[in-house]
Copies of this chain bind each other. A is one copy, B any other.
Amino acid sequence: MKQKNMIALVLPMLLPLQASLAQTLSPREVPAKSLPVPSTASPAIQKMIAAPLTPTWNIIPTTADGWREQVAAGAAATEKTIPALLEKLQVKVESTVIDGVKAFSVTPTLISPQNKDRLLIHVHGGCFVSSPGLSGTVEAIYMAGFEHIKVISVDYRMPPDHPYPAALDDAMKVWSATTKTHDPKKMGIFGSSAGGNLTLAMVLRAKRDKLPLPAAIAPGTPMSDLTGAGDSFQTNHMVDNVLVAFGANCDMRAALYTNGHDPKDPMLSPVYGDFSGFPPTILTTGTRDLLLSNTVRVHRKLRNAGVPSSLQVFEGQSHAQYYRDINAPETKEAFSEIGLFFNHYLER
C-alpha cells in the first residue's frame, strides 16, 4: 500500500499533456483478463512471457542512497551473467577512457571482413539511472558477438549524481572523439530503452552542433517520449512484465534524469524533434511492450521525414526482451536484422 500511495503522489508530475480533443472523448472500458502465454513465440520467449513482473517495478526508493542501493543490486546481478556471455559469444570487454568519458571496448574474437573498419557506438538502457559500468555492456556484447563487429559502449554518468545533460554530454564526447579517429560513414549508433532515447538525442544534437552524423542507427524500443504520451502506456499497462506500468520505477528514474527540465524538450523526448536528415534507422519492439507506441511513433515520424526506416515487432515480447536470452531464436533474429541493416548502410 505504501508503494501505491507514493505512485499516486508522484504521478501528477508525469501526467501526459493531452490534446484537448482526446480529453473530451470517451475512454474505452476494458474488463479484467487472464492472458495465456501464447504458443506463437519460441519456448525461450514463452518462458520470458510467463515470468512474473519485474520484482522492483513498483518499489521506488525515496532517497539518493536508496536509488544507489537498488541500482547496485541490479548491476551486481547482471554482472554475474557476463562471463558466460563473453565465453559463449567469444567477445572481450576492456575498460577505456575516451576524452575523459568512461567506456568499454567490446571486441569479438572474429571480426567479419566487411566490418574490419566499421565501429558501432553503444548507449545502454536502464531508464537513465541503472546499468552502470560493466552491467551496461550486455547489449553491446550481443551485438559484437552475433554480428562480428567492434563496439564501444559508453559508461555515461547518471543520476542521482548526474542528471541531464550529463549522459548526453558524455555520449557526445565519445561520438565526437571517435569520429576523429574513424570515418563516421563507417559508424553506427545503437542502444535500447534509455539507450534508444540517447541514440535519437545524439543525432539531434549532432545535427544541432553540425557534427558528423552516423551512417545508420538502431534505437531499440526507445524511451522517445518522457511526457507520458503514447497509447501503449495504457493498452499494455500490466501486460508488459518488464516495465509494467507508466509512472512506476522506470519513469521515476527518468524523472531523476529530466530533473526539472521540460520533458517535451526534444533532447529529452526525441519524438518531438526534427527528424529531417536523420540517417537510416531500424527500430525494434514487441507486441506487449509498454513502449510499442513510442517506437512506432518514431518510425512513422521518420518515414514522414523521408528517412529510410525499418520496424521490427516481436510477437508477445515485453520491453526490450529481444536481448534477454542468448538462446532464443528471436534474439539472434533481432540482431541479424540490425546487422543486415548496418551492413547495408555503413560504408566498408
On A, residues with C-beta under 8 Å from B are: 16-19, 21-23, 25-41, 43, 46-47, 49-50, 225, 229-232, 234-239, 241, 287-288, 292-293, 296-297, 299-300, 303-304, 310-316, 333, 337
Contacts and interface: CB of A to CB of B under 8 A. Distances in A.
Contacts of A40: 225, 229-231, 293, 297
Contacts of A37: 21-22, 25-27
How many of these chains are in the complex?
2
Nearest to A337: B303
Given A36-B234, A337-B303, A315 B296 contact: yes
A56 to B, nearest CB: 18
A78 B221 CA distance: 38
Contact of A31 (B238, B241, B299): B238
Contact of A287 (B28, B41, B231): B231
A113 to B, nearest CB: 21
B39 A18 contact: yes
Given A35-B231, A297-B315, A300-B314, 17 more contacts: A17-B39, A22-B36, A22-B38, A25-B37, A27-B34, A28-B238, A29-B33, A30-B35, A30-B239, A33-B238, A35-B235, A40-B225, A231-B315, A235-B235, A292-B313, A296-B313, A300-B333
Contact of A234 (B26, B28, B33, B230): B33
Query: 8 smallest A-B Cβ distances: which pairs?
Result: A25-B50, A19-B39, A38-B231, A25-B37, A22-B39, A296-B313, A231-B316, A32-B32
B39 A16 contact: yes
Contacts of A21: 37, 39, 43, 46-47
A32 B30 contact: yes
Contacts of A46: 19, 21-22, 25
Contacts of A300: 312, 314-315, 333
A231 B27 contact: no
Contact of A38 (B30, B230, B288, B310): B230
A267 to B, nearest CB: 19
Contacts of A239: 28, 30, 235
A8 to B, nearest CB: 15
8 contacts: A22-B37, A25-B37, A28-B34, A28-B238, A36-B234, A38-B293, A300-B314, A303-B337
Given A303-B312, A311-B313, A337-B303, A28 B35 contact: yes
Contacts of A38: 22, 229-231, 234, 293
Given A47-B25, A229-B40, A238-B31, A314 B333 contact: no
Contact of A304 (B36, B236, B304, B333): B333
A111 to B, nearest CB: 24
Contacts of A30: 32-35, 237-239
